[in-house]
């Protein structure tokens, strides 16, 4: 009887830790790089790394979860800035970045048109969402560079090619190069323009993250959604902090009197921000965490040993 109770207790303990491990795996989430263009055609987010978890608790990490988590983290009004509701053909995006204009939004995953907000999304994916400026003819064309992000040296020349998505006679999306688009770097217009093949050579001078985008509003019926490529320049950026002041008391002795002098020393602390390149891992499910797995295995092993020890004791 005692032997059976010991084995049962060990099994229950093992199941408890496995359940905790499973719950931890579901909560780990993934990283998604999010870009959003607002109703004015401005980039409000440019490849921001967002921690995405199962926000709607449906058991799957989707585009909807990525949009919810992005707003909760980055939008001033939190997750209220986005709304996803039931439409004629399933769940649909009904509000983005605080703008409610019906369902006039677009979103692409890894530069491919998404079928809907219920589409699954993977770790390291690039999600681009935008609000249509033209809600009558939908002239806004999704655009992108052939490079997502790259580490470069300051002043190094990088060639980019700009594409936009158009639709053929069967309404299938087709990429085509964009010539004559003006290039911006960190929101500032430059003299650079894409050539006949959509190519342009860009230099990034500022240390850290440099966002390359493009303007191409030929008319009300010909315009592009602003693209975003990121060039990370290696090096450090010095950020001045508030000076910290400490009082140092020194004593100077002079005959026949003693004079006490207080000297103020100002210390300025600077932080060095270093840009490094992180390898994006591709996975179709949330990460589970090796540390949690090891802990659970250790506990299970200890439980089994304990059960057998108790059994041996009672047999003796």
Q: Domain with 34 in it: what CATH number? A: 2.60.40.10
Residues 17 and 28 in one domain: no
136 and 217 co-located in one domain: yes
Distance CA 165, CA 41 (A): 16
* Whether 47 and 180 share a structural domain: yes
Q: What is the pLDDT of residue 234?
A: 87
Reply yes or no on whether the pLDDT at 272 is more than 60.
Answer: no
Which residue range is the domain that position 10 belongs to? 2-22+293-315
State the total domains in the chain: 2
Mean pLDDT of the chain: 77
Asked if the structure places residue 34 within a domain, the reply is yes
In this predicted structure, the answer to whether residue 286 has a pLDDT above a threshold of 80 is: no
Is residue 18 exposed (0-12), middle (13-18) or buried (19+ Cβ within 10 Å)?
middle
pLDDT per residue as tens digits for the range 81-105 = 999 999 999 999 999 999 999 999 9
DSSP sequence for 154-186: TT-EEEEEEEEEEE-TT--EEEEE--SPEEEET
Look at residue 236 in the predicted model and tell me its pLDDT.
Answer: 55
pLDDT at 60: 97
Per-residue model confidence as pLDDT tens digits over 135-155: 999 999 999 999 999 999 999
Shared domain check, 309 and 228? no
Percent of the chain with pLDDT over 70: 65
- Is residue 137 domain-shared with residue 63, that is, in the same domain? yes
Claim to verify: residue 212 and residue 310 sit in the same structural domain = no
The answer to whether residues 227 and 303 belong to one domain is: no
Q: Are residues 57 and 6 in the same domain?
A: no
Greater confidence, 304 or 219? 219
Q: Which two tokens stand for residue 33?
A: 């790089």
Q: What percent of the chain has pLDDT over 90?
A: 62
Whether residue 132 sits in one domain with residue 207: yes
Is the same domain home to 198 and 74?
yes
């Amino acid at each position: 009887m005692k032997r059976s109770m010991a084995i049962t207790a060990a099994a229950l303990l093992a199941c408890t830790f496995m359940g905790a491990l499973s719950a931890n795996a579901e909560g780990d989430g993934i990283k998604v790089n999010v870009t959003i263009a607002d109703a004015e055609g401005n980039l409000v987010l440019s490849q921001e790394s967002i921690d995405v978890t199962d926000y709607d608790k449906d058991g799957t990490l989707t585009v909807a979860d990525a949009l919810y988590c992005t707003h909760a983290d980055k939008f001033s009004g939190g997750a209220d800035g986005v709304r996803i509701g039931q439409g004629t053909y399933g769940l649909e995006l009904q509000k983005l970045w605080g703008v409610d204009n019906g369902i006039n939004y677009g979103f692409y995953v890894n530069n491919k048109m998404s079928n809907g907000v219920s589409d699954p999304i993977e770790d390291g994916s690039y999600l681009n969402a935008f609000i249509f400026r033209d809600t009558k003819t939908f002239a806004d064309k999704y655009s992108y560079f052939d490079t997502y992000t790259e580490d470069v040296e300051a002043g190094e020349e990088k060639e980019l090619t700009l594409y936009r998505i158009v639709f053929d006679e069967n309404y299938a999306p087709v990429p085509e190069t964009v010539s004559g688009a003006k290039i911006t770097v960190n929101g500032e217009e430059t003299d650079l323009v894409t050539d006949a093949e959509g190519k342009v050579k860009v230099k990034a001078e500022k240390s850290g993250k440099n966002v390359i985008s493009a303007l191409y509003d030929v008319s009300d019926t010909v315009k592009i959604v602003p693209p975003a490529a990121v060039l990370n320049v290696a090096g450090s950026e010095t950020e001045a902090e508030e000076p910290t002041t400490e009082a140092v008391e020194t004593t100077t002795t002079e005959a026949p009197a003693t004079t006490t002098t207080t000297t103020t020393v100002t210390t300025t602390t600077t932080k060095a921000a270093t840009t490094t390149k992180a390898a994006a891992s591709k996975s179709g499910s949330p990460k589970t965490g090796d540390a949690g797995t090891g802990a659970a295995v250790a506990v299970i092993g200890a439980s089994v040993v304990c059960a057998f020890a108790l059994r041996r004791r009672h047999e003796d």
